[in-house]
Amino acid sequence: MCFESIVNQPTRGANRLDRVYDSEPCYESVKVVISAVKSDHKAVIVYSKTRKPTCRKKRQPRVFRKRSPTQHALLLQHIADLNIQFDNRQNVQNNFDKLYSTMLDLVDRFYPERSITVISSDPEFVSPDIKAFLR
């Protein structure tokens, strides 16, 4: 019984360090790709059936607001001293617009928008908030 390496491409620099040995030709396709984890080695993918096409990851920037107990405390401290005055001579819509604008300014001030890139290969449950937390 003779084992032969079926990996014919370099897996680390110009060297073939990562190998797959086969005693019978049962694999139809061998593919060397950049590893999904942080490594200077490439990943070796071996198929016994037809070769799978390489899928490009889709990157999509997402906007989220980071929240922390400190930010909550600062917002509550600021709101305690906040005094919003409404003008009874104005119509309801103008007073509402003023309130909405004030609240939106508070949210932007204490919970600023941040951006993070979500990749199509991330699991569905990994939201922008969770991804930022993991980093």
Q: Is the distance from CB of 29 to CB of 46 less than 8 angstroms?
A: yes
Q: Is the distance from CB of 71 to CB of 107 less than 8 angstroms?
A: no
Q: Whole-model pTM?
A: 0.52
pLDDT tens digits, one per residue of 20-30? 777 777 777 77
Rounded CA separation 43/41 (Å)? 7
Rounded CA separation 17/31 (Å)? 14
Domain count, the chain: 2
**77 and 122 co-located in one domain:** yes
Rounded CA separation 101/103 (Å)? 5
**77 and 101 co-located in one domain:** yes
pLDDT tens digits, one per residue of 60-97? 899 999 889 999 999 999 999 998 888 888 889 999 99
pLDDT tens digits, one per residue of 32-71? 888 777 888 888 888 777 655 666 788 889 999 988 999 9
Q: Is the distance from CB of 105 to CB of 43 less than 8 angstroms?
A: no
**128 and 87 co-located in one domain:** yes
Residues spanned by the domain of 11: 4-47
Bridge partners (DSSP) listed for residue 45? 31
Across the range 16-21, mean pLDDT stands at: 78
**102 and 124 co-located in one domain:** yes
